Amino acid sequence: MVAERDNEKYSFARESRLLIVAKAKVWASEGWRVVITDQDGKAYAPSEFEQLSAA
């Protein structure tokens, strides 16, 4: 997961899928631009986070 806002950038890796999705939702709700990238390199925008938590 990568979260960006203004001149700040944070990355989180190798956490459980459930934890990453939950963290990404929180950061997105606080105004961060958030993208989750899976192990195959596919990127997911906030509108696609639900399909990650269902998998």
**pLDDT string in tens for the chain (55-residue length):** 999 999 999 999 888 889 999 999 999 999 999 999 988 999 999 999 988 877 6
Kindly state the tokens that stand for 39: 């192990």
pTM for the model stands at 0.84
Contacts of residue 51, defined as CB under 8 A and 6 or more positions apart, other chains included, come to 44
Using CA atoms, how far residue 4 sits from 15, 33, 36, 45, in Å, is: 19, 5, 12, 13
Alpha helices in the chain (DSSP H): 17-29, 49-54
Structure confidence at residue 55 (pLDDT)? 60
> So what's the pLDDT on residue 6?
95
**What's the pLDDT at 51?**
86
